[in-house]
Amino acid sequence: MRRWTVPIAAISLLLTGASALADGEPAAVLVPWKLLVHDAHEVPGDAALVLYWVPASPDELRHAALLASAELVAASHCVAMRVVRSDDAEMLERLDVEQLPVAVLADGDGHVVARIESRNGVLGLADVESMVRKALERQRAAAEEALDDAAKHADAGERDAAVVLYERVAKQRCICPRQARDAQRALRKIRQ
């Protein structure tokens, strides 16, 4: 009797979990937001882009649609996700925030790339996802263009200019992995 207890318990747990997932409701995917501390306004180290979210209230921070988004979770591998408190005047000024809630996308140097402001006090999840998606697409297109320019410089014998462009693209391996690999291959060829 005891010999069958563990396998039967395991099977019943699996069936319970399977029936819970079979209800059609996908499990929520939580975006890895990090609260920006007042004294830590530097841009996250390796991030090429940073998405700053300034909720209008602590209640919005707990219940907003921006908390659960599969697309933002996927982007969070290359885009740092930061929550800015609505009472952080210095950061709000740096991001040029006038109306809350707002989502601001900045590059690695801290320059604002794009922003989505609220409509009727609500920040649209689809708008924020679209803003991030378009910014990533622009980064990939710019990397492609830089690869083409670098190849032209290399063909013209301008080795130093080509190396600078290839190195810039190679650093973007998170956002543009294929272009970064191509740039690294080209750098190895040039340096031989």
pLDDT in tens for each of the 192 residues of the chain? 555 555 454 455 445 544 445 455 566 789 999 998 765 555 556 678 999 999 999 899 888 999 999 999 999 999 999 999 988 989 999 999 988 999 999 988 889 999 999 988 889 999 999 999 999 999 999 999 999 999 999 999 999 999 999 999 999 998 999 999 999 999 999 988
**The CATH classification of domain 34-123, taken from the options 3.20.20.140, 3.10.20.740, 3.40.30.10, 3.30.1490.100:** 3.40.30.10
Angle at 26 between CA 176 and CA 32, to 5 degrees: 45
Q: Hey, where are the domains in the chain?
A: 34-123, 138-191
Q: What is the pLDDT of residue 160?
A: 93
pTM attached to this predicted model: 0.79
Q: What is the pLDDT of residue 18?
A: 47
Q: In what order do the strands lie in the sheet with 112-117?
A: 34-35, 79-83, 49-54, 102-107, 112-117
127-134 long-range contacts, CB within 8 A, separation 24+: 127/103, 128/51, 128/53, 128/66, 128/69, 128/72, 128/103, 129/69, 129/71, 129/72, 131/103, 131/105, 132/49, 132/51, 132/71, 132/72, 132/75, 132/79, 132/105, 133/71, 133/75
